[in-house]
């Protein structure tokens, strides 16, 4: 699933750059949609606004998710598992 870029930072002398904060992630949250009750708590707590509700399901944008695990910690149904990022 493709998301539009939401995070830009005016750094560097040559103009505005897009920061994909997902580039430094070592763990990736994975939602178990069988357990998810669609409460939206993960959406509210994500510090980089990487969780969106699309067609009734909460989905994670891995372009910006930095793997902090807050969503997994706060999910009341333990529906988010943190998996080791491949290649790290
Ligand atoms: S916090 Fe957990 S149960 Fe609630 S919407 Fe997110 S994944 Fe689903
Ligand atoms: S791991 Fe952190 S950055 Fe990634 S979706 Fe969960 S709360 Fe957001």
Q: What are phi and psi of 57, to 5 degrees?
A: -115, 145
Kindly list the protein residues whose Cβ atom lies closer than 6 A to any atom of ligand 1.
31, 36-42, 58, 75, 77, 79-80
How close is the Cα of 45 to the center of ligand 2, in Å?
8
In tens digits, the chain (88 residues) has pLDDT values of: 455 555 656 666 677 666 777 888 999 999 999 999 999 999 999 998 999 999 999 999 998 899 999 999 999 999 999 999 986 6
Q: Is 8 a member of any domain?
A: no
Q: Is 13 a member of any domain?
A: no
Q: Is 3 a member of any domain?
A: no
| Number of domains, the chain | 1
Give residue 54's domain range.
22-84
Q: What is the pLDDT of residue 12?
A: 66
Q: Is 44 a member of any domain?
A: yes
Q: What are phi and psi of 25, to 5 degrees?
A: -70, 135
How close is the Cα of 42 to the center of ligand 2, in Å?
8
The CB-based long-range contact list for 72-78 (8 Å cut-off, 24+ gap) reads 72/29, 74/41, 74/42, 74/45, 75/41, 75/42, 76/37, 76/39, 76/41, 77/35, 77/36, 77/37, 77/39, 78/35
CATH code for the domain of 75: 3.30.70.20
**Closest to 64 measured CA to CA, from 81, 50, 78:** 50
Query: Do 32 and 42 touch, CB atoms closer than 8 A?
Result: no
Q: What is the pLDDT of residue 4?
A: 53
Token pair listed for 35: 């357990």
Q: Is 9 a member of any domain?
A: no
Q: Is 12 a member of any domain?
A: no
């Amino acid at each position: 699933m493709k998301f539009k870029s939401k995070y830009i930072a005016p750094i560097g002398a040559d103009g505005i750059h897009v920061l994909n904060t997902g580039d430094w992630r070592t763990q990736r949250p994975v939602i178990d949609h069988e357990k998810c009750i669609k409460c939206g708590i993960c959406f509210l707590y994500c510090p980089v606004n990487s969780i969106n509700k699309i067609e009734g399901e909460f989905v994670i944008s891995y372009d910006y998710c930095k793997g902090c695990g807050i969503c997994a910690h706060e999910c009341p149904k333990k529906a988010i598992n943190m998996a080791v990022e491949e290649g790290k």
